[in-house]
A and B are shown apart, each in its own frame.
Chain A
Amino acid sequence: MALEHDQELDASGLNCPLPILRAKKTLNGMESGKILKIIATDPGSVKDFEAFANQTGNELMESSEEGGKFIFLLKKK
Chain B
Amino acid sequence: MNGSIDQDPLDDLLANSALIADRGFSERLRYNLSKATSLRFKIFASMGGIWLVLAVFLVSPRTLYERLSSITENFNFIELGSMLSIELNYTGLSSMQLPMLYIVILLLSIPAIFSFMLSD
Are chains A and B native binding partners rather than an unrelated pairing? no
